[in-house]
Structure 1
Amino acid sequence: MMKGLKKWRLFSLLAVMTVFLSACGENYISTLKPAGAVGKQQLNLLIFSTSIMALVVVVVSVLYLLAFVKFRRKKQDENYIPKQVEGSHTLEVIWTVIPIILLLILSVPTLVTTYKLGDVAAMEHVDEDGNKTALTVNVTAKLYWWEFEYPEQGIVTAQELVVPTDEKVYFNLKAADVKHSFWIPSIGGKMDTNVENVNKFYLEFDEESQGLKDGVFYGKCAELCGPSHALMDFKVKTLDRDAFDTWVAAMQATEGQTASKDSTDLGEATFAANCLGCHAVSGAGASGAMGPNLTAFGDRNRVAGVLEHSKDSIETWVKNPESIKPGNLMTGAYGKLSDEEVSAVADYIMSLSVED
């Protein structure tokens, strides 16, 4: 008996620790430390709902314990039968009306918030010149990376989403292969990306990411999509509006930029001969490339979304991408490159930058 009680005490301790440790996440990836208006509304709704459910649990538990204590057998004669309340209209009304009231209290703010966060009508608003007033990003999820197109700005990038703070950013979400799910835990979300239709929603970014541990917020795929689902990460860099406009101009200025097979630089020539068919090095253009756009690769936070941003990581990835992300579409593409060529390509890719 005592052994069983000890097991239950351990289980209870672990349950309590789980509750407390769930609030110990880093602010660049924790849903409990939101850095955007959408995330804050979702957290408030979660706390509100949890509070009501906790209240119900407490009330039911108290009633159960009172009945347990009051009517326990050892306090009464063995033949004692407590007052029977079966068929009591009063009790029937109470335990029917109260749940209905609680459901209304839960459902009304939930529905209001859901419809509010789903309102993307402003995405189509235009100014006097016919230009859209809201920033829109077309997100395409692929195995196992993310492409971000800014249609009004005429630029495209990958793996690192760059957005301005203190304004709504609208997203068109789709998938190129299988179902994925776009999620930035600290900002809000999540929303599925489907092959057959486009989902739309918006997010607001209240804080600049520069002061964070890694200088970025973390984004994730929240839908099981294959063997490397857990490694399908992206990063989010949030800037003030002026800095964002500067970044856009720098990306637009790369129009026509390419790599040449005739270059005297071994890395550029090797890249042009082996990589340029899938990876663009110009940020000006449209989405749809086979591989991630590498225009601003030197400014990124990670290699392949998960590796340390270094030359060694690039070499590891190029030599054996399957060992990093099983099932990725680049697997086996670069086995013919020598160690010298791989090293030179890594140097070239690291040199690609649009930031000062």
Structure 2
Amino acid sequence: MSTPTQKLSDAGVSIWLDDLSRQRLTSGNLQELIDTKNVVGVTTNPTIFAAALADGESYREQVAELAAAGTSVDDAVFRITTDDVRDACDLFAPIAEATQGVDGRVSIEVDPRLAQDADATSAMAQKLSQTIDRPNALIKIPATEKGLPSIAATIAEGISVNVTLIFSLDRYRGVINAYMEGLERALENGKDLSTIHSVASFFVSRVDTEMDKRLDAVGTDEAAALKGKAGLANARLAYQVYAQQLDTERWKRLAAAGANPQRPLWASTGVKDPNLPDTLYVSELVAPNTVNTMPEKTLDATFDHAEVTGDTVTGTYEESTEILNAIGEQGVSYQEVVEALESEGLDKFDASWDELLTTVRTALDEAR
């Protein structure tokens, strides 16, 4: 019998696990998820690495070597995380080869402290790519206004990018433009466009969390009836934007030169509200040529009981627009929400990075 995760794959949704640790790699757990639950990629972030390192045992030998060598905390973080990502890239290499690089991808984030410095972000992206030295690595760059030039510059160098922290439809259009600009420059630079890939990570559950908080504050029955709907509406309209850009002359010229579409990726798909179904951001965001990156809890729930009935996005655009308009009519500003979410997201990235540095610093001190 076909499992829900197999049905997702059949519907054109790539399942990526939002987690990575050395323990997953060495124990065979990640390979098992590939074999049994249709996982075809991995995303990481500093919080994930901090949690893995806090567990500790798998990293003990390397931490001891780094401590003995007098390695700085920043360099130790770089070494440890790039080693894990390189090993994961090797594990996923057969999938990358079988899908011509579309899947089998492993993402690693640039230092988020550089998010407002385009040149430093671009340099860090190149350093990560060169150090990992695997064609199926994806470098994560935040979609801040100042990050857009870094995205274009990194793509122009032939480096594949996971654009993260997208909340608004306008910013998503900017991300698409940066991707195409990067491809145009890559073409001028003589790069093979067919080897460059990108995903645009659109955050879902955080939109509901922030919108619902504001709808609660409104306090009307009409506002209450709109809770838990904004995240899906926003993501579905993002897919409409994606489909529209594929129909432009600019994109058709790039596609003719071998370019790959920048696929929408649904991030933040763990359901925060216990009143909502735990697979909501999976079963209601099924569309061809998308990625859903899931925490393991969401992956397990999806495998166990998700209802996958085919495309649940195409044809929902009018209804989705009506939902966002109705929320606006309740006095909740879409623009204020997405701006607050980006600011909060950057703060969370910084806090996660600090957590990772603290975890590694502690491990190095103990090893010394």
Q: What is the TM-score normalised by the length of structure 2?
A: 0.24
Which structure shows the higher helix fraction?
2
Greater RCO, CA 8 A, separation 6+: 2
Q: What is the TM-score normalised by the length of structure 1?
A: 0.25
Which structure shows the higher strand fraction?
1
